[in-house]
């Protein structure tokens, strides 16, 4: 089971056709494998938060059982553009 920021980033980018992915390894703060991810994808358009998070959860279904603390933020490209402008 490979659990690295690079591996997760690439998997999310491909599976979710994301235009931007950030993966932060937060393991050192918690004593157990932990990650925080930000995913920007058009696949999230028109979807409520629950469904967006489910898409990410499904993408990492094999990895999540081995991750103790997982945090995520899902944005559409429009939301990402707006957020960066602020």
Partner 1 sequence: MAAGAAEAGEAAVAVVEVGSAQQFEELLRLKTKSLLVVHFWAPWAPQCVQMNDVMAELAKEHPHVSFVKLEAEAVPEVSEKYEISSVPTFLFFKNSQKVDRLDGAHAPELTKKVQRHVSSGAFPPSTNEHLKEDLSLRLKKLTHAAPCMLFMKGTPQEPRCGFSKQMVEILHKHNIQFSSFDIFSDEEVRQGLKTYSNWPTYPQLYVSGELIGGLDIIKELEASEELDTICPKAPKLEERLKVLTNKASVMLFMKGNKQEAKCGFSKQILEILNSTGVEYETFDILEDEEVRQGLKTFSNWPTYPQLYVRGDLVGGLDIVKELKDNGELLPILKGEN
Rounded distance between C-alpha atoms, residue 28 and residue 10, angstroms? 22
**Of 12-20, 39-47, 71-79: span binding partner 1 (CB under 8 A):** 71-79
**Of 10-18, 26-34, 39-47: span binding partner 1 (CB under 8 A):** 26-34
State yes or no: residue 79 binds partner 1 (CB under 8 A): no
If phi > 0 it is left, if psi is from -120 to 50 it is alpha, else beta; for residue 84 that is alpha
State yes or no: residue 46 binds partner 1 (CB under 8 A): no
Query: Cβ(30)–Cβ(68) under 8 Å?
Result: yes
Please give the residue ranges that form the binding site for partner 1 (CB under 8 A): 1, 30-33, 49-50, 53-54, 57, 61, 64-73
């Amino acid at each position: 089971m490979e659990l690295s920021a690079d591996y997760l980033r690439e998997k999310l980018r491909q599976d979710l056709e994301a235009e931007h992915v950030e993966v932060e390894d937060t393991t050192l703060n918690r004593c157990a494998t932990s990650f925080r991810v930000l995913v920007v994808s058009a696949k999230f358009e028109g979807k409520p938060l629950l469904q967006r998070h489910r898409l990410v959860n499904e993408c990492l279904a094999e990895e999540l059982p081995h991750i103790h603390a997982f945090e995520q933020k899902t944005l559409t490209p429009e939301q990402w553009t707006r957020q960066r402008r602020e």
